[in-house]
Amino acid sequence: MITKVLMPKLSEAMETGKVIKWLKKEGDPVKGGDVIAEIETDKANVEIEAFGSGALRKIIVDAGGQVPVGELIAIIADPADDISAVSAAPQKPAAPAAAPAAPAPAAPGAASTAAPPLPAMETYQSTPATSRVVPMTPSIAPAAAPATRRVKASPLAKKIAAQGGVDLRLVQGSGPGGRIVRRDVEAALSAPRPAPAAAPAPAAAVAAPRPAFVVPPRPGAEFEDMALSPMRAAIAKQMPLSKAPVPHFYVTSEIAMDRAWELRSELNALEGQPRVSVTDMVIKACALALLKNPGVNASFRSDPQGAAIRVHHRAHIGIAVALEQGLITPVLRDVDVKPLSQIAAEWRDLAERARAQKLRVQELSGATFSISNLGMFDVDEFSAIINPPEGAILAVGAVVEKPVVQDGEIRVGRRMKVTLSCDHRVMDGATGARFLQDLKRLLEEPLRLLL
């Protein structure tokens, strides 16, 4: 009877063993239970006993040899047995159940910031392979929590808001830390619409509803990206160093609003037309000026692929509205192709809904240019901060009567100061100035707004 002597597995973690010495020679008789060799394991030196009887026919691994657990190291058999089949082919036994497939731990220094991976756990055993040294995991300081402008709302509040179409950004939270909770959203949903501002025009005259304005099909791309010229690229790099992140510069102009004022009165005296305000005219004027100065209707884009200036081919203008809790900027889209009356009607509606906090999400984004008007607060002039990623914003002051020089004489004129804040990565002073010049001309020759 042939007995294979295999390198025994003497502990769970043992993977290889070394034969220290054989206590019997080839040919010696062997009885089951006889000690035949000394083996060095990961823990200790151990004597192994024969499991079968006969003679130690062949020693396959000599003293000093180190082999994996389960490998054939000798053959015991009766003197008459033919062991050629057994000793010929190298015996690879069925792998012991705990054979690990552990990846080597990351070389030290390879990942400077990431912690090196720990050696893999052996399959379904809960002790890691002890032959590998567990690396010292460097303590990594937890990343500082980013300053987010996340809306804090309870899961239930979010659910109700989503169902009711309420923009959580417009809801005031009454919970701890400003958390929006159910009752806040429910209050927002059931808030009565504020009564529209008293309109001087008699309601009967404007009974007939306006036909909906249809934006004509607009072939062509919404925008195109222009690669930065070397000069532009250099400027883009320099500017943030002095005024991160958006390098602002400001251009101011004083506009004579007399004729615009007159035109406004005349328009508003017409029957059946929506009331037009100074703001509406400024909006239209901006749109036309943007068409003439596409360099201002642009955004700085810093993609991972590379920076570019996005020139918009449409004018979507955001107009800032002051609410008690802050500022929001509803967006009037496609202003460049809408007539003044349409702009007036849409703007009135947007402003109302903005104050009632009933804007839709898409009405709060997508602007290519913004206007901020503090004239109703008797502000002469101010500089606004650009809404990224737009390239510019126009700050509009009040229309004031003041002494002006006209044809060599002092007269009373209506003047309005505007300040254009520009992103210097997108445009230079001249571009901004040209825009402002065009704007001034449009408002000082307001009939152009009706074209």
CA distance 254 to 433: 12
CA distance 276 to 345: 8
CA distance 441 to 352: 30
Q: Of the listed pieces 90-98, 277-285, 288-296, 398-406, which binds another protein according to CB under 8 A? A: 90-98
Question: What are the residues facing 388 on neighbouring strands?
Answer: none
Closest CA to 177 of 213, 202, 152, 205: 152
Closest to another protein by CB, 93 vs 272, is 93
Q: Is 210 in the site for another protein (CB under 8 A)?
A: no
Closest to another protein by CB, 72 vs 289, is 72
CB of 19 to another protein, least distance (A): 15
Closest to another protein by CB, 14 vs 443, is 14
Pick the binder of another protein from 130, 154, 277, 437 (CB under 8 A): 154
Q: Of the listed pieces 88-96, 108-116, 293-301, 413-421, which binds another protein according to CB under 8 A? A: 88-96
- Site map (CB under 8 A) of another protein, residues 28-57, x = contact: ----xx----------xxxx---x------
Question: Is 248 tagged catalytic?
Answer: no
Closest CA to 381 of 345, 418, 350, 408: 418
The token duo for 42 is 């990961």
Sign of CA dihedral 395, 401, 405, 406: positive
Pick the binder of another protein from 2, 6, 102, 399 (CB under 8 A): 6
CA distance 424 to 37: 85
Q: Is 155 in the site for another protein (CB under 8 A)?
A: yes
Closest CA to 342 of 220, 173, 447, 214: 214
At residue 214, the 3 state secondary structure works out as: coil
CB of 10 to another protein, least distance (A): 7
CA distance 64 to 343: 94
Residue list 302-341, contact with another protein (CB under 8 A): none
DSSP 27: T
Active-site residue, selected from the candidate residues 248, 312, 313, 424: 424
The residue with tokens 């809790």 is 325
H or E, element range at 211:
none
Pick the binder of another protein from 182, 292, 353, 441 (CB under 8 A): 182
CB of 143 to another protein, least distance (A): 23
Q: Is 127 in the site for another protein (CB under 8 A)?
A: no
Residue 16 and residue 83 in contact, taking contact as beta carbons nearer than 8 Å: no
Q: Is 233 exposed, middle or buried (0-12, 13-18, 19+ CB in 10 A)?
A: middle
Q: Is 18 in the site for another protein (CB under 8 A)?
A: no
Q: Is 128 in the site for another protein (CB under 8 A)?
A: no
Q: Is 20 in the site for another protein (CB under 8 A)?
A: no
Residue 347 and residue 320 in contact, taking contact as beta carbons nearer than 8 Å: no
CB of 444 to another protein, least distance (A): 56
Q: Is 183 in the site for another protein (CB under 8 A)?
A: yes
Q: Of the listed pieces 179-187, 231-239, 246-254, 341-349, which binds another protein according to CB under 8 A? A: 179-187
Q: Is 181 in the site for another protein (CB under 8 A)?
A: yes
Q: Is 102 in the site for another protein (CB under 8 A)?
A: no
CB of 134 to another protein, least distance (A): 22
Q: Is 270 in the site for another protein (CB under 8 A)?
A: no
Q: Of the listed pieces 9-17, 259-267, 309-317, 333-341, which binds another protein according to CB under 8 A? A: 9-17
C-alpha distances in Å from residue 226, one per residue of 249, 303, 307, 425, 426: 22, 13, 9, 13, 11
Q: Is 449 in the site for another protein (CB under 8 A)?
A: no
Closest CA to 123 of 43, 12, 16: 12
Q: Of the listed pieces 5-13, 192-200, 226-234, 299-307, which binds another protein according to CB under 8 A? A: 5-13
The residue with tokens 């989503």 is 162
Closest to another protein by CB, 158 vs 313, is 158
Closest to another protein by CB, 29 vs 33, is 33
H or E, element range at 438:
helix 429-444
Residue 178 and residue 157 in contact, taking contact as beta carbons nearer than 8 Å: no
- Give the residue numbers annotated as catalytic, written as ranges: 424
Question: Which residues of this protein are in contact with another protein, per CB under 8 A?
Answer: 6, 8-12, 32-33, 44-47, 51, 69-70, 93, 95-98, 154-159, 174-175, 181-183
